Amino acid sequence: MNYKPVKTVCRNSRLAQLQVEEVFSLYPLIKYELTMLKSFGDKHKEISLMDNNVDADFFTRELDQAVLDAKADIAIHSAKDLPYPLPPGLEIYCLTSASYKTDALVDKHNRTLLQLPAGAKVGTSSKSRREELLKLRSDLVVVDIRGSVEERIDLIEKGDIDALIVATCALRRLGLNRLIAEVLPFKTHPLQGNLAIVGRTENEELKSRFAAHDIRRKYGRVTIVGFGPGNPDLLTVGGERAIARADILFHDDLIDRTFLDKYRATKVYVGKRSGKHNCQQDEINEQLYNAAISGRNSVRLKGGDPMIFAHGREEIDFLKSRHIDVTVIPGISSGIALAAYTHIPLTHRGIASSVAFASGHASGERNVPVADTLVYYMAGENMSNVAKQLIAAGRNADTPAAWICDVSLPAQKIGFSTLKELQFSVVKTASPVLVIVGEVVALESRMAQQPNILVTGTSCEEYRGQGNLTHTPLITVERNREANDLLKKAVGEYGWIVFTSRYGVRFFFEILDELRLDVHSFGAAKIASIGKTTSLELAEHNIRPDLEPEPESAEGLIRRFEEIKLSNARILLPRSNKGLPYLPEALEKMGNRVTDLPVYNNMVNKAAEKVDLSRFQKIVFSSPSGVEAFMKMYGRLPEGMLLAARGRTTEEMINK
């Protein structure tokens, strides 16, 4: 069959012409007519390639448009110049192999990189090459240059630069390999040296003529499979078939490894957990790519669904931009599975008609979804931020919430709460924790058994009715023997007296009685109470506080004082000897003077006895000293249960 010459277009340079000749040397029976065009990048050498805003088709746009307009049949490009994705209507007919994928140093005096003197000017047009160069020689000066390889080499002859970094393959194609002073140990673009034949998608006949030397024919394929929330019974049939066919299997933490033992594939663990990454994402991407170009069929097995908080699209883009065939098989996301395994519906007639999924790692006011039911992934150590932001965004603090870990597994745990409690709570566990917020939670929480709650503070009255309480006070309080003298010295005019606990109230007024003083001894001071329990103690002295914050915490107090723009005030702070500096420091930062008055001592309760922590679903801490006492007694904070704190400072102690 006589074929017409293939109308071919390339860039207007000697290197591009040689690349065309190299391609057609693979197809000696195919005749071609060559047109050379200047690309936008060739016309605008004043534009730096170091600029992140350079368009992806900087060197290919005019050539590809000529093909789309049928002015050419194919365009031949350096594969690393191709945009991703290709313009609609175009596809790669052939990706050629590459012999030289390295960078080389060109130097007039044939010096290696280490032999260049400090301050030597090294030319490059690549941001990545600049970064690689400065890793090895931060004392060199990088000069941003543009132009053909010959024009760049000429800059050395003129003395504008001392050395040049350029692709080894370019020098060899131009017959200039004699100029190579050293092959550099740089990480280069994966497609460096490869050439791409690009044509119109509808021209199947022409595509078939170039297929013989397409190295992608030898590539393996990558299948990204969702394993589900952990229970192998939830793996899809399609997912199981892909695993059975795989040569190599890249899996993470959420996969039942014993289940995988029956498959022949090589298993590679690439697990990632918060703060504990066996592999970084870019390393996983590289492993998938290298397996594919070596001809192995790979499965990337992910917990849940690959496209929900699982980096699925990142892996797809990485592989497809390198011309690897990728397919995705969905899995049951844990946010969906929790509904079945907890019986908490995500939607319910008359209660919730919308649901949103969000990442606990990205909690923030701008990220608060608008939906009846919210499901937060990876929320164990971030649930307090999630709850605070939801309340700040207008959600009722009494909105029901639940936390779930190990969804679908025998170790599954669930706890019920409210946003108000969760804003100072954490669940410590190596397993991912989901938090579901919305009125639908009440459908199940009101039917659940009462939780067993361990209260570690000095009182448990405020927790009555929340569950089966075990009160084991880990701290005890007694009046500070020096408080009388301290209080005498503190008598004077104050704008505010701030009480942060009922014991502060109790011992303050005991001392006043002994000294035959009253609250008026401190001028016309207004009274602030940290919360309801403290206010009840004040009521015993016929005092109603002028200010009581929501939430009941030190930061709640500060927020209220900021709202009323309190400054230039003298403030008395009767409290524990172990009161943390956050409150007085914040008040002083607002321009106030604070007298910190330790009216009682907070001590470890030596009479407290250990209890079996496995019986409890929740532990309540009312002070940082209570957390410290717990750690001394038990050695560490338990995992897999709600650790509820009274206020931010106590929460911070839990998170230490």
Q: What percent of the chain has pLDDT over 90?
A: 83
Token match 């009846």: residue?
Answer: 372
113/163 Cα distance (integer angstroms):
9
Set 252, 388, 413, 420: catalytic member: 252
Are 486 and 559 in a shared domain? yes
In a domain, residue 1? The reply is no
pLDDT tens digits, residue range 197-232?
A: 999 999 999 999 999 999 999 999 999 999 999 999
Banded model confidence at residue 141, pLDDT cuts 50, 70, 90: very high
- How many domains does the chain contain in total? 6
- Over residues 48-74, the mean pLDDT reads 94
User: Within 577-623, where are the H helices?
Assistant: 582-589
The pLDDT of residue 79 is above 80? yes
What single-letter amino acid sits at 461?
E
Are 70 and 107 in a shared domain? no
Confidence at residue 458, expressed as pLDDT on a 0 to 100 scale: 84
Give the side-chain half-sphere CA count within 13 A for 366.
1
Confidence at residue 53, expressed as pLDDT on a 0 to 100 scale: 83
Confidence at residue 95, expressed as pLDDT on a 0 to 100 scale: 98
Q: Choose the final residue of a domain: 589, 604, 619.
A: 604
In a domain, residue 32? The reply is yes
In a domain, residue 496? The reply is yes
Are 176 and 244 in a shared domain? no
Are 598 and 484 in a shared domain? yes
Confidence at residue 1, expressed as pLDDT on a 0 to 100 scale: 63
Confidence at residue 363, expressed as pLDDT on a 0 to 100 scale: 53
> pTM of the entire structure?
0.83
Q: Could you tell me the residue range of the domain that residue 401 belongs to?
A: 335-445
The pLDDT of residue 401 is above 60? yes
DSSP E strand stretches across 174-281: 180-184, 195-200, 222-228, 248-251, 266-269, 272-273, 276-277
Are 223 and 371 in a shared domain? no
Greater confidence, 653 or 364? Answer: 653
In a domain, residue 189? The reply is no
Q: Could you tell me which residues come within 8 angstroms of residue 6 by beta carbon, excluding any fewer than 6 positions away?
A: 30, 31, 32, 33, 73, 74, 206
Are 464 and 597 in a shared domain? no
CATH number at residue 376: 3.30.950.10
The pLDDT of residue 274 is above 60? no
The pLDDT of residue 196 is above 70? yes
- Over residues 469-476, the mean pLDDT reads 92
CA nearest neighbour of 610 among 454, 429, 452:
454
CA nearest neighbour of 445 among 411, 387, 403:
403
28/25 Cα distance (integer angstroms):
6
Q: Choose the final residue of a domain: 301, 332, 363.
A: 332
Confidence at residue 580, expressed as pLDDT on a 0 to 100 scale: 81
Confidence at residue 278, expressed as pLDDT on a 0 to 100 scale: 65
331/304 Cα distance (integer angstroms):
6
In a domain, residue 497? The reply is yes
What does pLDDT average to over the chain?
Answer: 93
The pLDDT of residue 365 is above 70? no
Are 610 and 466 in a shared domain? yes
CA nearest neighbour of 194 among 177, 214, 175:
214
Confidence at residue 366, expressed as pLDDT on a 0 to 100 scale: 59
- Over residues 166-171, the mean pLDDT reads 97
For residue 435, the cross-strand partners are 376, 403
CATH number at residue 76: 3.40.190.10
- Over residues 628-634, the mean pLDDT reads 93
Confidence at residue 570, expressed as pLDDT on a 0 to 100 scale: 96
514/485 Cα distance (integer angstroms):
11
The 3 state secondary structure assigned to 22-89 is HHHHCCCCCCEEEEEECCHHHHCCCCCCCCCCCCCCCCCHHHHHHHHCCCCCEEEEEHHHCCCCCCCC
CATH number at residue 324: 3.40.1010.10
Are 512 and 591 in a shared domain? yes
The pLDDT of residue 367 is above 90? no
Q: Could you tell me which residues come within 8 angstroms of residue 235 by beta carbon, excluding any fewer than 6 positions away?
A: 227, 228, 331
In a domain, residue 562? The reply is yes
In a domain, residue 483? The reply is yes
Q: Is 4 a catalytic residue?
A: no
- Over residues 607-628, the mean pLDDT reads 92
pLDDT tens digits, residue range 499-537?
A: 999 999 999 999 999 999 999 899 999 999 999 889 999
Query: What b/e string do you get for 353-367 counting C-beta neighbours within 10 Å, with b at 16 or more?
Result: eebbbbebbebeeee
Confidence at residue 342, expressed as pLDDT on a 0 to 100 scale: 97
Are 61 and 204 in a shared domain? yes
CATH number at residue 551: 3.40.50.10090
DSSP E strand stretches across 438-559: 452-455, 468-471, 475-479, 496-499, 526-529
- Over residues 610-623, the mean pLDDT reads 93
Are 55 and 199 in a shared domain? yes
Banded model confidence at residue 276, pLDDT cuts 50, 70, 90: low
CA nearest neighbour of 381 among 366, 359, 396:
359
Confidence at residue 502, expressed as pLDDT on a 0 to 100 scale: 92
The pLDDT of residue 618 is above 90? yes
Cβ neighbours, 10 Å, residue 377: 22
Q: Which DSSP helix (H) or strand (E) runs through 644? A: strand 642-645
The pLDDT of residue 273 is above 70? no
The pLDDT of residue 615 is above 90? yes
In a domain, residue 420? The reply is yes
The pLDDT of residue 275 is above 90? no
Set 101, 127, 267, 272: catalytic member: 272
What single-letter amino acid sits at 76?
I
Structure tokens at 427: 């669940």
Q: Could you tell me which residues come within 8 angstroms of residue 68 by beta carbon, excluding any fewer than 6 positions away?
A: 87, 89, 90, 200
168 SS3 class: helix
Q: Choose the final residue of a domain: 332, 364, 386.
A: 332
Are 634 and 567 in a shared domain? no
119: alpha, beta or left? (left if phi > 0; alpha if psi -120 to 50): left
Cβ neighbours, 10 Å, residue 1: 2
Are 427 and 346 in a shared domain? yes
Q: Is 31 a catalytic residue?
A: no
In this structure, the chain runs to a length of 656
